[in-house]
Amino acid sequence: MRPTMDAPPPLETVLAVAHVVSIPLVTRFRGVTHREAVLLRGPAGWSEFSPFLEYDDAEAATWLAAALDDGWHDSEAPVLRESIPVNATLPAVAPDAIAGILARYGACRTVKIKVAEAGQTLADDVERVRETRIMLGAAGRIRLDANGGWNLDEAEHALRALEQFDLEYVEQPCASVEELAELRRRVHRLGIPIAADESVRKAEDPLAVARAGAADLLVIKAAPLGGIDRALAIVAEAGLPAVVSSALDTSVGLSMGARLAARLPALEYDCGLGTGALLADDVAVERVAPVDGAIDIGRVDIDEDALRRLAAPGPRAAWWRARLERCHALLGTDPV
């Protein structure tokens, strides 16, 4: 998916307002114990550039386009709501760690549970989901996220084993659009909707999954889709319900996700924007964290002391600044 910004601010301007931070997590997530990000102080407010480390420059450039768009402009799309209901996100932890992690989210009615973790088994997933269902009670909502970790047959087998827990939906159970379409056909009788995440945000064509009838809903993230306005356009063209989610962002990135969710014409599901609870620290004066199951919209103010306290070590800061420079070169050269 190519970046769409034709006229980014000059590289010198961007580097001059860039701050690289490294924030510890309360538990290992996606194989990391610290979340690194570049925070940019733009004319419109703070923005965040934090593509995952394994992404190549072409993919990461779309995240930079989103950060520059958000930091230098405000979306003109109308704001339709002032708060966003959010889910708790549960990493692939052992059952005895579940209560402590969920307590950090407060009164969220929905939990997204990570499954299909490398090195774990379906039995581990079943026990994690079972324990969460017991804690939530019958009225709680449970959704799963496999991050494309199952093949088609594994996914079908897993969903038949997990359907007993009354699942709201399963996110990206398989990696490819073709597998998602076939799985959706196979498990139709189970009544478990299929959501697409990586098949949208990592695809050259983010609408392919909708055209193929491979998903019942989309999970969208503002940064990897190129920003708020581009994400809104993708949802509108796809014609499917959408859930706005985070990429384990700081409060700066979470605020962009909240401002995207606030502009969606319909918001049928709780959004995955409560992941600030997985950070042991943060850079905002007031962290973006769930209160009574929801977060407010709006930009955040940065705590300058936190910015200094969480500054990434020199070699990591240099690595991110070099990455930013390479990605900027892919966006074009004419100043805004």
Question: Binding site for Mg(2+): which residues?
Answer: 145, 171, 197
Q: Give the integer Cα–Cα distance in Å for 270 and 291.
A: 13
Q: Is 202 a catalytic residue?
A: no
Report helix, strand or coil for 67: helix
Phi-psi region of 298 (alpha: psi -120 to 50; beta: other; left: phi over 0): left
Decide: 111 and 132 in contact? Cβ < 8 Å: yes
Catalytic residue selected from 201, 221, 230, 259: 221
Residue 114 a catalytic site member: yes
Q: Which two tokens stand for residue 224?
A: 């990897």
Q: Which residues pair with 21 in a beta bridge?
A: 37, 311
Q: Which of 102, 163, 179 has its CA nearest to residue 130?
A: 163
Give the burial string for 299-315 (b: 16+ CB within 10 Å, else e): bbebbeebeeebebeee
Catalytic residue among 19, 104, 114, 323: 114
Round the CA-based radius of gyration of the chain to a whole number and report it: 19
Residue 95, class by beta-carbon neighbours within 10 Å (0-12 exposed, 13-18 middle, 19+ buried)?
middle
Cβ burial of 111 (10 Å; 0-12, 13-18, 19+) is: buried
Alpha-carbon span 230 to 243, nearest angstrom: 15
Q: Which residues contact 299 (CB under 8 A, 6 or more apart)?
A: 44, 45, 46, 255, 259
Measured distance CA(16)–CA(9) in Å, rounded: 11
Rounded CA-CA distance 23/37 in Å is: 8
Is the separation of the CB atoms in 63 and 73 below 8 Å? Answer: no
Q: Which residues are catalytic?
A: 114, 221
